[in-house]
Amino acid sequence: MQTKKTISGTFLKWLLLIVGVAFAVSMVFSWTLQTRLSEKSAHNLLRLNIADVRQDVIDASDANLLALTRDIASEIDAGAPADEAGLLALTARHDVAEINIIDADGIIISTTHPDFLNYDMRSGTQSAEFTGLLDGTVREHVQSYQPTSYDPTLLRKYAGVCLEGGGFVEVAYDAERFQRDIDHQIVGVTRNRHVGENGCIVIADENWSIVSDRNRNEGKNLVATGIWIDRDTMAEGDVFTATVYGVESSCMYVFSEGYYIIAVLPENEILLQRDTSVSLTAVLEVLVFLTLFGVIFLLVRKLVVNNLNRVNNSLSKITDGDLDEQVNVRSNTEFASLSDDINATVGTLKQYIAAAAARIDRELAFAKNIQQSALPSVFPPYPDRKDLNLFATMDTAKEVGGDFYDFYFLEENKLALLIADVSGKGIPAAMFMMTGKTVLRDYAERGDAPSVAAFNANNKLCEGNDAEMFITAWLGYLETDTGLVRFANAGHNPPVLIRDGRACFIAQKADLTLAAMEGVPYREQTLQLAPGDLLFLYTDGVTEAADAAGELFGNNRLLAALSRRFGSGEAAVRAVCGTVKEAVGTFAGETPQADDITMLCLYYAGNNALTVTAKTTELPAVTGFVNRALEGLGCPEKTTAQIDIAVEEIFANIANYAYSGEPGEVTVRVRGEDSAAVIEFRDRGFAFDPLEKPDPDVTLPAEEREPGGLGIFMVKKSMDGVTYQRENDENVLTIRKNFAK
């Protein structure tokens, strides 16, 4: 036996789940956020260190070049020769690449580079930066290492200092002197510099030779560190990863003053901050969630679970029969109201029990015995029969009902079906139901046709009917050999025929109800069932079931519920009744059942099929089977003779041509359909559509006609319909012949 879950246990489980999910989501969020913050912090640290080193390099190179320029300007002011020869001497002595003297108009009037003579400094972007020395804005100016305006392929670093007599002198480093002057300073600037705890700065020149590295790899190619830079695809200031001296690291570079300045920070150091922060957050959240979990659980247990247990303890005593037990839980308004409601309900229940106990006991015992003995209740009722199956249910609106159903064999192959509804409810209706059921069965078993049995039963029930009760009834006899149903309807709902997944009401005319008026005639009507058909009988409790708004279930909803395929046999009849019951229950909702709901379903498998070996020797058996079926359908002799000729031709063709080698089987089925006989032939032989072949020209002499095709031509001419289809690897040829009028 499965143990039921308690509220506290269920709440504990869900609270743990919610807390766990909240903790997991919080950790994922914290982990993601801290990872991004750590990466951003690391990138900022790389940029800051590169900026510092870059500025140190710029400051060192600016100071060196500016000091040389001042010295040269002093010598010129002191009277040193300023012609080309004098300037060349100064260039050699101070080991610089170029000296230019610019007049107050910004024109180069003397230079060590003859091509620069008379060059206007204002004409180039790079040279125009020095024009501030002409208007007195600044006294000194130094540029970064860059291409010259005169020749963009020439990279130099220039500084300018004003001369006392006006104009200024401009001095240039070339790459070799520039790097020689500041390399030793760069080494000092970067060798002991740390990026973070374990990061470093690496500086390489334009040829990728290491200038400064804390591992003292000066002079080696940059790849010795594990760093590789492709300036075409790797932008300055972007972060890239590399394994630097065996450690996975984040790196960033800039190119400044002719040097590659590279900052390196190990990945494990970047993530250390994240791991520390996440660990601290996890510890704090565990403490918070545990505290919150404990407080919530204790509050729920104290305020809800304990009070519910007290209520349940009192209810257990009440359900065990102690109606004097009082529920007294008043810790808050809700439980006080619940206690009062339960106590009031128990008090009312005690009053009803005292007043009705004796009457209910007597009437229920009597009514139950009547109904149990009156209705068949064993399903399937005829397990040995393969040609049909039945199932029926009755759900009463009160203790007992006035609906009833019945079925029984009158002969070996004739089954009587009955469903009826007595006016009124309760014990009187149940008693009249018993009388009506017995009378109808007596006349049916006596051999009366359905219409005659209804007529006689009506007269019998009218006798002494002082209560003026009446019965709606549908009585039918099924001939199991042919599927023909002969029936009479005494004011009852039309049955539903379910065929090939489609449901429809059978065409019928309803006569007056039983016990309403003596001497009323009843018409005998017929219904032809085909193998696989389902016949559904029901009382008006189905279609008149109402919802909360008072709307009835109705015929359309009934047909909609039944318009599908239910399979076959016992499963089908049970499924039909179950489907209708579910549909009605869903429609009505909480609305109480106002009338009895009774249903009876018949599945007809039929006996009108014959399977034989595809040999011509089986032809007599086939024609005999077809003739018996046609006789049961009331087929005229002339029509039967025409059908026999068609059957012989079709069966002979199948026997002779459908199979190669060992012959297979042929199944022949006969059914009635709208005053017509329908014969179906099925075989698993070669796929062949005899209707595709054109009809032979019968106007030609026999010796001139092509052989074959005459037999099927005769069949098409003599029958009212011939169809062919290939279905489930079977040839299915169907002929139809209307009954002669």
* Buried-exposed string 422-438: b where 16+ CB fall within 10 A, e elsewhere: bbebbbebbbbbbbbbe
Residue 561, both tokens: 């519920």
Q: Decide if 73 contacts 161 (C-beta within 8 A).
A: yes
| Confidence class for position 592, pLDDT limits 50, 70, 90 | very high
| Confidence class for position 188, pLDDT limits 50, 70, 90 | low
pLDDT of residue 335: 72
* Buried-exposed string 153-183: b where 16+ CB fall within 10 A, e elsewhere: eebbbbbbbbbeeebbbbbbbebebbbebbb
Long-range CB pairs of 320-326 (<8 Å, 24+ gap) are 323/349, 323/350
Confidence check: pLDDT of 505 > 90: yes
Among 23-32, 154-163, 178-187, 406-415, the range scoring the smallest mean pLDDT is: 178-187
Domain ranges of the chain: 326-374, 376-604, 609-738
Residue 275, both tokens: 């791991």
Burial (CB count <10 Å: 0-12, 13-18, 19+), residue 89: middle
pLDDT of residue 560: 97
First to last CA, the chain: 70
Quickly count: other Cβ atoms within 10 Å of residue 111's Cβ: 20
C-alpha dihedral (423, 426, 431, 433), degrees to nearest 10: 40
- What is the Cβ-side half-sphere exposure of residue 17, based on CA atoms within 13 angstroms? 6
Peptide bond into 380 cis (omega under 30): yes
CATH topology (fold) of 376-604: Phosphatase 2c; domain 1 (3.60.40)
Q: Summarize the confidence of residues 269-292 as an average pLDDT.
A: 77
pLDDT of residue 606: 74
Highest mean pLDDT (candidates 274-288, 539-553, 697-711): 539-553
pLDDT of residue 185: 62
Confidence check: pLDDT of 499 > 50: yes
Tell me the residue type at 252: M
Among 97-106, 291-300, 689-698, the range scoring the smallest mean pLDDT is: 291-300
Highest mean pLDDT (candidates 230-234, 274-278, 402-406, 452-456): 452-456
Query: E strands within 155-195?
Result: 155-162, 168-173, 194-195
Confidence check: pLDDT of 187 > 70: no
pLDDT digits (tens, 9 = 90+) for 96-107: 989 999 998 999
Among 282-296, 302-316, 603-617, the range scoring the smallest mean pLDDT is: 302-316
pLDDT of residue 183: 65
Q: Is 452 left (phi over 0), alpha (psi -120 to 50) or beta?
A: alpha
Confidence check: pLDDT of 305 > 80: no
Residues 6+ apart with CB under 8 A from 560: none
Residues 6+ apart with CB under 8 A from 40: none
Q: Where are the alpha helices (DSSP H) in 446-568?
A: 450-462, 540-543, 554-562
pLDDT digits (tens, 9 = 90+) for 214-228: 888 888 998 888 898
For residue 217, give the 3-state DSSP assignment. Answer: coil
Q: Say how far apart CA 133 and CA 129 lie, in whole Å.
A: 9
Tell me the residue type at 607: N
Confidence check: pLDDT of 633 > 80: no
Vertex 462 angle, CA 456 and 464, to 5°: 130
Highest mean pLDDT (candidates 166-175, 276-285, 705-714): 166-175
- Chain mean pLDDT for the chain: 85
Secondary-structure class of domain 609-738 per CATH: alpha beta
Q: Which residues pair with 511 in a beta bridge?
A: 490
Helix/strand/coil (H/E/C) assignment for every residue in 326-347: CCCCCCCHHHHHHHHHHHHHHH
Confidence check: pLDDT of 1 > 50: no
Q: Decide if 67 contacts 300 (C-beta within 8 A).
A: no
Q: Summarize the confidence of residues 450-457 as an average pLDDT.
A: 97
Among 60-74, 305-319, 368-382, 718-732, the range scoring the smallest mean pLDDT is: 305-319
Q: Say how far apart CA 195 and CA 46 lie, in whole Å.
A: 7
Among 100-104, 150-154, 185-189, 710-714, the range scoring the smallest mean pLDDT is: 185-189
Vertex 300 angle, CA 298 and 301, to 5°: 65
pLDDT digits (tens, 9 = 90+) for 473-489: 999 999 887 788 999 99
Residues 6+ apart with CB under 8 A from 379: 390, 391, 392, 570, 574
Q: Summarize the confidence of residues 441-469 as an average pLDDT.
A: 94
Q: Summarize the confidence of residues 564-572 as an average pLDDT.
A: 88
Q: Summarize the confidence of residues 310-316 as an average pLDDT.
A: 73
